Structure 1
Amino acid sequence: MTDDAYLVLLSGPAATLGVPPAAVGELACMETPAVRAWLDAQGVTAASPRLRLLPPEETAAIPEDAERLPVPLGEEELSRVRHHAAPRDVARLEEELLAYRSCADGRDALLARALAAGVPAHRVAELTGEDLAAVKAVAR
């Protein structure tokens, strides 16, 4: 696994990986000379349906022959990418986890539901601000 997110040009069944960059709103990296030059070299625009953005934990799924470019994302940008890349039911739970920060009522039940739905423990900790050990303890 890498620490960088990747812009990738995909086609065929792999085109469902990641998210279109435009779906997550403004990203500082999209305006950098390196990204602009890479897009020009590939003959695509930032709005191309083949262009996808993958968070670091999904980069192992990039096909070997796919054109790719590592891009730096800020913490908030990466959170938006992960949110848009999550399946709808998981995305809904992630929204609840974000709302959790302001209300601890039903804490254990919400954490258990998120873990049971497949939200990784590190992501639950990131979204809630809870200690990772406390999140893992709920799973036991």
Structure 2
Amino acid sequence: MTDDAYLFLADGTAARLGAPLAAVGDLACLETPAVRAWLDAHGVSVASGDLRVSPPEETRHIPEDAEKLPVPLSEEELLRLRHVLAPGAVARVEDELLAYRDCAGERDALLSRAVLAGVPQHRIVELTGEDPQTVASVAGGTSPEAASGPAASRR
């Protein structure tokens, strides 16, 4: 397995592999001279249905004789690519995980606002499912990471 994704030209058998580039959207690597030269050399535009992209974990399935080019993708680009390739149920769960990731970054701010608004700590725990110690540490003004450190494990 490689750490790079691959752009490749699909023939009849490879048409089901990877994702059409158009479905994934703009990728930063498409603006690089190497990718532009590769596309020009093969007479392919980024809008071509034959141009596919495969994530690193799937590149072993690309046929040996396929025209292919390794390309680096950002984490966000890889997420989009994997989302396009995921079956419906998996895609929905991945959407939920992405939403969770996006809101989890604001967790401490939200917990602090709830405490400042006067929501009782036990109710915050009930509503959020957060650990009572985490809520208590935010209410007390300490970071949850500090509260769950070695000193907290001795309690």
Alignment TM-score > 0.5, same fold: yes
State how far apart, in whole Å, the 1-side matches of 2:68 and 2:90 are. Answer: 27
Percent identity among equivalent residues? 70
1:5-58 CA-partner distances (Å, limit 9, x unpaired): 000001113211111122122211011111111011111111111110000000
Task: Name the structure 1 match of 2:113.
Answer: none
State how far apart, in whole Å, the 2-side matches of 1:100 and 1:44 are. Answer: 39
Larger RCO, structures 1/2 (Cα 8 Å, 6+ apart): 1
Task: Name the structure 1 match of 2:20.
Answer: 20
TM-score of the pair, normalised by structure 1: 0.70
Task: Name the structure 2 match of 1:129.
Answer: none
| The structure with more radius of gyration | 2
Question: Which one is further off, 58-67 or 22-31?
Answer: 22-31
Partner amino acid for 2:39?
L
State how far apart, in whole Å, the 1-side matches of 2:89 and 2:78 are. Answer: 19
Question: Which one is further off, 17-26 or 72-81?
Answer: 17-26
Q: How does 1:65-80 map to 2 (within 5 A)?
A: 65-80=65-80
Count of residue pairs brought into register by the alignment: 107
Q: How many angstroms does 1:95 deviate by?
A: 0.6
Name stretches of at least 5 consecutive residues in structure 2 with no aligned partner.
Answer: 108-127, 130-155
Task: Name the structure 2 match of 1:111.
Answer: none
Name stretches of at least 5 consecutive residues in structure 1 with no aligned partner.
Answer: 107-140
